A and B are shown apart, each in its own frame.
Chain A
Amino acid sequence: MSIKAEEISALIKQQLANYQDEISVEETGTVTYVGDGIARAHGLENALSGELLEFDNGVYGMVQNLESNDVGIVILGDFTKITEGDTVKRTGRIMEVPVGDALIGRVVNSLGQPVDGKGEIKTDKTRPIERKAPGVMERKSVFEPLQTGMKAIDSLVPIGRGQRELIIGDRKTGKTTVAIDTIINQKDQNMICVYVAIGQKESTVRSSVETLRKYGAMDYTIVVTAGPSEPAPLLYIAPYAGAAMGEEFMFNGKHVLIVYDDLSKQADAYRELSLILRRPPGREAYPGDIFYTHSRLLERAAKLSDDLGGGSMTALPIIETKAGDVSAYIPTNVISITDGQIFLDSDSFYSGVRPAIDAGTSVSRVGGDAQVKAMKKVAGTLRLDLASYHELESFAQFGSDLDEATQAKLNRGARTVEVLKQGLHSPLSVSKQVLILYALTHGFLDKIELDDIAKFESGLFDSFDASHADLLKEIDTTGQLPDTDKMDAAVSEFAQTFQPAEAAAKE
């Protein structure tokens, strides 16, 4: 085969004739004001709300306000090197973050850039951070349980996959711990967790990540962090970025748990940038759309229909109250958006009841359908028991002469409170939770001293693990309570051999 030089050169000539130099055409504006993390720019007449813009020094910004003479831009990064008169370019894109499997086990910032020093994240998939939540036809009722591993939550305020359950309480009442323990318990549960730390101290985030790593939870967890030293816009977009990362898995038929820790700080960040953008302040100086900020975020948590793969995203937003005031603006907003709340009480926290869940004010509006049958049976009367105990408790302090029924109620109540206590980072499987609650509701604990309950509990678990593993397995696999005779026999077998601590000390 011979090369025909003429033909080839003719071809090249033809291509050269058509070769057109591409020039880049960009729409630009001029920065007229910069400061406090925002900029204003003249020009950019076709810019869209929410569009990404690029400044001269490569820093990105997001269009927030479109006004008659200029646009208000939030700067996503270092704004100290942007000066008046700089040009700012449109990019035509809206804000996106990288998503996909490569993010699992990583700590990233609100832009999806790694901050854990483990090199770049190799993924070519991105998702826009703002997305309209799944609609009516794309959803399905919540029915699968999400086990938090905490007796007090799984029995009293069960959470279903796809639910939004608020964790609310004063500072230092263990809100983050509840969330972290829930993540730790998702091991081998076919769950992917996203922990979004908004305005948390870098040292706190560091220790949370260390805890997760220690318990092997980083194998299925993404941590998104926007520290207090980041500019407010990054704190504002962090939960949306986390939601976008979670959605990627949800739409691929997986189950996702996302924790927003905490949304009060996000609201503060949004208030800050809204005030600097000169939007009119409303109640508590929050902007008018602060409700929408949270509702559109939490609405993205969903249980998808089978047509869409049946994935789910469960959201656990956290809100910090000031001095137990749940009627402040942000707490009432988020309470009304979510499907229930876990209320953590500082008084019970300091009196040693940990997790400090207030059974009276904590509710779960949809989780009941998702609760394991066996758990439903043993936990059915728990809430009433606790309520009547708390009522009698204050009343009984005035007199010592109490009839037997009241004594029994008080007795049972005190043991219930004791059983619901649980150590840090020690989640329990459903079967064991059912077991100890079974022992409680069937009166096996009534004769045990309060101080011995914890010892009895661990002894009971050991004895079942050793000689009645089949019963535990039955609960785990079928979700039903095994035959009561068998259970009674097994529990009383252990109760008879149980040595109270005092007796053991005497020997």
Chain B
Amino acid sequence: MSLDKVTVAKRYSKALFELLDSQDQLDASFEELKQLRKVFQDNPQLGTALTDNSLAPAKREALVKPLLDATTGTVHNLIHMVYDYGRMDAMVEIIDQFQALYDTKNATVYADVTSAVALDDSQLDQLKAGYAKRVGAKQVVLSSKVDADIIGGVIIKSEGTIYDGSIKTKINRVRQALLG
């Protein structure tokens, strides 16, 4: 059975992460990887084209060349290896998984905040501090969204967990308690 992309990506990213960590090049390479991911995300066909055997090898190499030229060191080698093993279509996942490992190391947490009214910067900072304390993170990156449907309060979504402090949910709970 062929492995799915996530399983493949986890293996490559773990190796990459451990290598970069031992070379102390995590931060520099991460910036490079982010750029690389942007290239793949901007050109969605790129990944499939590079693993497509019906495309002539020469043409494929021509496509990889600019990527190889633009990068150096370990990231350069990574592209080489991933290309040789025909896993270019999993590149975005590899970098995603790498980011997950990178964030765990730096205790960075990403969260989506939904509120009924737009929050100002000081409120967001308060929220960040409170949330960081709660989950034990050093750094919190918030992306906020406004949804009037929740009436009031805040909902924070992060890494498979929902912290729901919205008025809407509370009303629903009261309703359930009364009717149930």
Contact = CB atoms under 8 A, between A and B. Distances in A.
B160 A27 contact: yes
B160 A28 contact: yes
Size range of the chain B interface in the assembly: 10 to 19
B160 A69 contact: no
Contact of A25 (B6, B159, B162, B173): B162
B165 A28 contact: no
Contacts of A69: 4, 6-7
Interface string A40-52: 0001110000000
A68 B3 CA distance: 12
A43 B7 CA distance: 14
5 contacts: A24-B162, A24-B164, A26-B161, A27-B162, A87-B162
A29 B160 contact: yes
Interface in A342-357: none
B165 A23 contact: yes
Contacts of A89: 162
A68 B163 contact: no
A31 to B, nearest CB: 13
A6 interface: no
Interface in B9-31: none
A219 to B, nearest CB: 30
Interface string A67-91: 0110000000000000000010100
B46 to A, nearest CB: 23
Contact of B161 (A21, A28, A68): A28
Interface in B126-176: 157, 159-165, 169, 173
The 5 closest A-B pairs by CB, nearest first: A43-B160, A23-B165, A24-B164, A69-B6, A26-B162
Mostly helix, strand, loop or mixed at chain A's interface? strand
A23 B7 contact: no
Interface of B: 4, 6-7, 157, 159-165, 169, 173
Contact of B160 (A23, A24, A45): A45
A27 B161 contact: yes
Interface of A: 21, 23-29, 43-45, 68-69, 87, 89
B4 to A, nearest CB: 7
Given A69-B6, A69-B7, A24 B161 contact: no
Contacts, number: 35
B131 to A, nearest CB: 11
Nearest to A23: B165
B6 A23 contact: no
Contacts of A27: 160-162
B163 to A, nearest CB: 5
A96 to B, nearest CB: 15
A44 B160 contact: yes
A10 to B, nearest CB: 28
A24 B173 contact: yes
Contacts of B163: 23-25
A121 B4 CA distance: 47
Contact of B169 (A24, A29, A44): A24
B162 A28 contact: yes
Contacts of A21: 165
A24 B162 CA distance: 8
B151 to A, nearest CB: 14
Contacts of A87: 162
A318 to B, nearest CB: 37
A25 B161 contact: yes
A24 B165 CA distance: 6
A89 B160 CA distance: 9
Contacts of B162: 24-28, 87, 89
Highest count of chain B CB atoms <10 Å: which of A21, A24, A26, A27 = A24
B149 to A, nearest CB: 14
Contacts of B173: 24
A71 B161 CA distance: 16
A26 B7 contact: no
Contacts of A28: 157, 160-162
